[in-house]
Amino acid sequence: MPTTSLDLNQIQGNSVGGFNKDFQTNLFLKFTSAAAGRAWIKEVSEEVAASSSANVLQFNNQFSALRAQGVRRPEELISAVWVNLALSFQGLTALNLKAANLAAFPQAFRDGMAQRKAELGDLGASDPSHWVAPFNNPSDGHAVLIIAADHRHALHRKVGSITGTTAFKTGVQILRDQPGRTRPDLPGHEHFGFKDGISQPGIRGVDPPDDPIGNPNQGHPGQDLLWPGAESGSRPGQPGKSGLGSERLVPRLSPVAPRCRRV
């Protein structure tokens, strides 16, 4: 499979290159007006474009270089605020996209997670009827706005500037504000105490190889990593991915820490 050349300026940040910020908020949104919702998306698109994968990767490389030089807290020298916007099929429908454009999306995306609960194993206690709001009403889940920053005050300022406009107040409703931050007692670790991020696959042409001989297992852009032995970029008999769009899965899990500890 030949290496695909990626235009990282046309790919949202947090897709290729993680935001890697200490403070983050996830705003789950509903469009209450198609016209105002479209106006707000046009408005926030400048923030999203400034948070491209190219810019995020450049910043992350500079941050890592400072750490390599012995700077303990690089965020005191350089900092950034990033914005990512993901739209659901229900959101695109609420924005009055043309039927032909909506029909072009994959069936799984059109169905949504709740309708595909059997395929995903969301049964019994995990049934969508038990999901917390707003996930228990999938028709309302139109978009997820992710804002991430190195400093709490910068995050709050950016959230206020994006949600304080007339277009937002007229056409968008916040259904849930889910904050997130790194563990102050154990930075770089997830909530069970394990080192986070070390299992992320490298992308050929984007990430430098982690070994001196050049990692032959580094994946091509768009390569399907779910099927053992897959080298062609897609499952046999299935179409490969195309374009520069990215898919984002946003599940909300209820971890059972004691069980995970036993495993």
pLDDT at 211 (0 to 100):
58
Element (H, E) at 233: none
- Of 49, 61, 67, the C-alpha closest to 8 is 49
pLDDT at 257 (0 to 100):
56
Alpha-carbon distances, residue 147 vs 57, 60, 71, 257 (angstroms): 16, 16, 25, 27
- Do 254 and 126 touch, CB atoms closer than 8 A? no
Q: What number of other Cβ atoms are within 10 A of residue 127's Cβ?
A: 12
pLDDT at 213 (0 to 100):
57
Compute the CA torsion angle 101, 220, 190, 132 (nearest 10 deg).
20
- Do 166 and 37 touch, CB atoms closer than 8 A? no
b/e for 147-168, b at 16 or more Cβ within 10 A? Answer: bbbbeeebbeebbeebbeeebb
Name the H helices within 197-256: none
Question: What is the spatial distance between Cα 126 and Cα 129, in angstroms, rounded to a whole number?
Answer: 8
pLDDT at 250 (0 to 100):
74
pLDDT at 176 (0 to 100):
95
Q: Block means of pLDDT (10 residues each) for the chain, length 263 residues?
A: 71 88 95 96 96 94 94 95 96 95 91 89 88 89 96 97 96 95 80 68 73 64 59 38 63 62 48
Compute the CA torsion angle 88, 93, 95, 101 (nearest 10 deg).
100
Structure tokens at 32: 């209450």
Residue 116 CA to chain centroid, in angstroms?
A: 21
Contacts for 64 with CB less than 8 Å, ≥ 6 apart: none
- Of 83, 87, 117, 82, the C-alpha closest to 101 is 87
- The answer to whether the predicted template modeling score (pTM) of the entire model surpasses 0.85 is no
Residue pLDDT, tens place only, 89-104 = 999 999 999 999 999 9
Question: What is the spatial distance between Cα 58 and Cα 17, in angstroms, rounded to a whole number?
Answer: 9
Compute the CA torsion angle 60, 65, 69, 73 (nearest 10 deg).
-10
